[in-house]
Amino acid sequence: MPELPDLEVFARNLQRRLKRKKLLDIRLLTDAVTKTSQKELANAVVGASVSAVYREGKELRFRFSNKNIIGIHLMLRGKFFWFEDKNTHSHTLLELKFSAGINLALTDYQHRAVITLNPKESTVPDALSKAVNEKFIASILQSRAAVKNILLDQHIIRGIGNAYADEILWDAAMSPFSAANQIPPAGAKALARSIRKVLQNAIKQVDKAEKGIIGGEIRDFLQIHNASKKNSPSGAAIVKKMTAGRPTYYTAEQQLYK
DNA sequence: AGAAATGTTGCGCT
DNA sequence: AAGCGCAACATTTC
């Protein structure tokens, strides 16, 4: 599943091909997760052209010239594919046909990807927004929850997933299991810095790895959350711990605040 | 071949 | 009683 950096690059690549293209047809397959009907969707966007494709948290948004927006959350297994005349991709949930013969399919074999017409604005800051500064981070560390769980909670800060939470916490030299309210001010500062640094760098890496990418995920360059690596860049052994069915990778270089 | 992985929701346990 | 783990979703990928 793609995380924030992948999604950010997908949005840029989708926008590059779709901007100013007119939507000719939209087809919503019956097993798609949505509160919107095929008819409502078509009424809202067919005939309009794409004004922007962008990312908000882990959701991609297609904004049209008439201000209507289609939000797509890929969840675990959602994927985009370009197709020509005929869409041959299995588990298709949504088909979008644009001018100039450009067509886009959304697939998800788990049928969990969520399609939303005009998603409502959120007050929760995106991980890469300016609002995520030292002060904001300090303010969300006011509980005894493990710091990793706070980073992952989309109601607190949007966009960080399991893999990048591990990368960020290693970069900030802080154990994922630290009690948030035991982290000193310097830790909050380090965390704010690492969030930006790790995610921005990953966006560059993903973009470089595959030009025009709109699906899948690129994770070979991850330094800690990476099953093929035994040691951190500075040589410490990487430990893998399963919790809630998901792996956390970390090293003894990371300070545990308890 | 069998395990691992990925996000979210909602539930039950402590 | 806040915070955690777990199950479910279901197929692909290693």
Q: Tell me, what's the pLDDT at A66?
A: 98
Domain A134-250, CATH number (from 1.10.287.70, 1.10.1760.20, 1.10.8.50, 1.10.30.50) = 1.10.8.50
The whole-model pTM stands at: 0.95
**Distance CA A245 to C1' C6 in A:** 8
Contact, A142 CB vs strand C, < 7 Å: no
**For chain A, how far is it from start to end, CA to CA, in angstroms?**
32
pLDDT value, residue A21? 98
Residue ranges, CATH 1.10.8.50, chain A: 134-250
Mean pLDDT by 10 residues, chain A (258 residues): 90 96 92 83 97 95 97 91 89 93 92 90 93 96 93 93 94 95 96 96 92 88 91 93 88 94
Which tokens in the block code for residue A92?
């298709």
C-alpha to C-alpha distances, A60 to A79, A96, A188, A214, nearest whole angstrom? 12, 15, 29, 11
Give CATH 3.20.190.10 domain extents, chain A: 4-117
| pLDDT given for residue A26 in this prediction | 95
The confidence score (pLDDT) of residue A243 equals 84
Query: Strand B nucleotides below 7 A of a protein CB?
Result: 4-9
- Topology, domain A4-117: N-terminal domain of MutM-like DNA repair proteins (3.20.190)
Bases along strand C below 7 A from a protein CB:
2-12
pLDDT of residue A35: 81
The nt closest to A77 (CA vs C1′) is: B6
**What is the pLDDT, as a whole number, of residue A30?**
72
CA A201 to C1' B3, in angstroms, rounded, equals: 31
The rounded distance, in Å, linking the Cα atoms of A255 and A172 is: 9
Closest C-alpha to A70, from A9, A126, A11: A11
CA A62 / C1′ C5 distance in Å = 36
Residues facing residue A126 across a β-bridge: A158
